[in-house]
Amino acid sequence: MALASFTVPSTYRTTLNVMAVSSEPSGAIGPGSKRGGQFLRLLTGVQNASALVFSVFLTVHLASPLAAAVGGIKLAGKTMLIGRDLYLPLEPILIYAPLALHLSASITKRAYLTLRTRRLPALTIHLITGYLLIPFLLPHIVSHRLVPQTPSPPISSLSPSEFGLEFVAYSLYTRPITSFFAYLGLVGLAVPHAVLGSMKIVSWIRRLRAGTEPVGVQETPRRTAAGIPKGRRRSAGWLLFGLLDVVLVGLVRLYWEGAHVSGFMARRYEEVFAKTARLGFGLR
């Protein structure tokens, strides 16, 4: 009986020799079957397309802390309001839907390939930053988007103008250790994950246009474990280092502004922290 070779992505570092598609049981979706290949291509497409959509929001959102390093809370606040005008009307489409699709497709793909190969994926920078980002991202969404919309007092549905960089400044001033760790950790994980992911997506798009897209995400042997050439990874490292420096300067400038938050707004902000902690997503 003929054999067909199926190459699993390099993160699994293995090649399966599977029976020809014609020998697969009816309805099978193993990696050697036609349906299995289509399933993995679908997951890869959802994973990459959702990441592209979410990157639009991420780029706009990162502009505020970068602006804080240059012009303090005033310039950062104006930058954030402009950005919110762009993405808030499409928040479910630009943020929640692509984020949910990206996580679901990524986890499903890893679980499916792990099940088929019976090997855990190699720990690459792209993979590690992605999984470590989850415990930083979820509390951030809860504390900065969901809880502030609570209609009951004292929060009383904080508006975008009320819940801006002043909350970040107050958080940094009253909870410096946890807040600096949370914000720097969020940026420090999101940026390399996004940069490395964008490089892989560019390669994926080129393969699609050339009609050579393999099953799953396939890397060449000359590439690193993360699937990215060393030169590009080095450039990404310098980019991350520079961005973190600028963000740190912006956070320090915001820290000093936290002392000027009014007592009325401070009480509302404190209730945001308290409710977030009660939900299990933060420390009061």
Q: Which domain holds residue 247?
A: 35-217+224-278
How confident is the model over 224-250, as pLDDT tens digits? 444 556 776 677 778 788 889 999 999
Number of domains making up the chain: 1
Whether 38 shows a pLDDT value over 50: the answer reads yes
Contact yes or no for 145/279 (Cβ under 8 A): no
Contact partners, residue 104, CB within 8 Å, separation at least 6: 46
Q: How big is the CA angle at 253 (ends 255 and 260), to the nearest 5 degrees?
A: 50
In a domain, 106, yes or no: yes
Q: Is 22 within the bounds of a domain?
A: no
> Is residue 71, in this structure, part of any structural domain at all?
yes
- Predicted structure pTM score: 0.81
* Mean pLDDT of all residues in 270-282: 93
Residue 223's pLDDT band, with cuts at 50, 70 and 90, is very low
Q: What is the pLDDT of residue 214?
A: 59
In-domain check, residue 257: yes
Do the domain assignments include residue 18?
no
Cα–Cα distance measured from residue 258 to residue 168, given in angstroms and rounded to the nearest whole number: 8
Q: How far is Cα 28 from Cα 31, in angstroms, rounded to an integer?
A: 9
Q: For residue range 175-196, what is the model confidence (pLDDT) as tens digits? A: 999 999 999 999 999 998 998 8
Task: In whole angstroms, give the CA distance from residue 92 to residue 115.
Answer: 32
C-alpha 261: how far from chain center = 30
User: Is 17 inside a domain boundary?
Assistant: no
